[in-house]
């Protein structure tokens, strides 16, 4: 793998479907519950706000993986931020939950297999594995 490596995340269809289903299930559960109408309306409003908030993609335009274990997040507005990978990052063959420390704050990126074009998901998994193997003890 040649570093630095630039990955361009995109909106995941799988994650979009899961979010739709979860919010639809919550709306149906509220409808089936024996609650006052005003409480149901308030809960449906909360589900709608949650759906709106979750459906807005907050992915960076690019993720640049560096050889020294750092990564650079290139935001959609053109700004760049350096980030460090947290130890509680989760890696599966179909999903990476990338936990980062950016400017002293924590951030998480959920990256299902279809959110990175081509071989990007595999390359990110390899880089994360390489990062843990080469981490100082």
pTM of the model: 0.80
Grouping H, G, I as helix, E, B as strand and the rest as coil, residue 133 is helix
Digit-coded pLDDT (tens) for 35-63: 999 999 999 999 999 999 988 778 899 99
For residue 43, the surrounding DSSP H or E stretch is: helix 37-55
Res 133 pLDDT > 80 = no
Residues 95 and 112 sit within 8 Å (Cβ to Cβ): yes
Tokens of 54: 């979750």
Res 121 pLDDT > 90 = yes
Residue 69's pLDDT is what? 82
Beta-strand runs (E) in 47-114: 62-65, 70-74, 80-85, 90-91, 95-102, 105-112
Digit-coded pLDDT (tens) for 62-107: 999 998 888 999 988 888 999 999 989 999 999 999 999 999 999 9
Which comes out higher in pLDDT, residue 134 or 17?
17
Res 137 pLDDT > 60 = no
Residue 135's pLDDT is what? 64
Q: What is the dihedral of CA 89, 102, 78, 58, to 10 degrees?
A: 50
Q: What is the C-alpha separation between 7 and 135, in angstroms, rounded? A: 22
Tokens of 112: 């299902």
Q: What is the mean pLDDT of residues 8-31?
A: 94
Name the residue with tokens 């709106």.
52
Res 9 pLDDT > 70 = yes
Residues 62 and 89 sit within 8 Å (Cβ to Cβ): no
Q: What is the mean pLDDT of residues 11-34?
A: 95
Residues with Cβ within 8 Å of 78's Cβ and at least 6 positions away in sequence, in order, are none
């Amino acid at each position: 793998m040649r570093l630095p490596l630039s990955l361009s995340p995109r909106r995941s269809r799988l994650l979009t479907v899961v979010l739709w289903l979860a919010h639809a299930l919550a709306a149906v559960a509220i409808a089936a519950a024996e609650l006052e109408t005003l409480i149901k309306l308030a809960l449906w409003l909360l589900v709608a706000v949650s759906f709106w908030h979750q459906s807005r993609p907050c992915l960076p335009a690019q993720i640049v993986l560096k050889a020294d274990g750092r990564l650079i997040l290139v935001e959609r507005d053109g700004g760049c931020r350096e980030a460090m990978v947290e130890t509680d990052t989760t890696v599966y063959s179909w999903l990476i939950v990338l936990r980062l420390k950016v400017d002293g704050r924590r951030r998480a990126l959920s990256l299902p297999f279809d959110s990175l074009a081509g071989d990007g998901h595999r390359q990110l998994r390899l880089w994360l594995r390489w990062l843990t193997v080469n981490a100082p003890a």
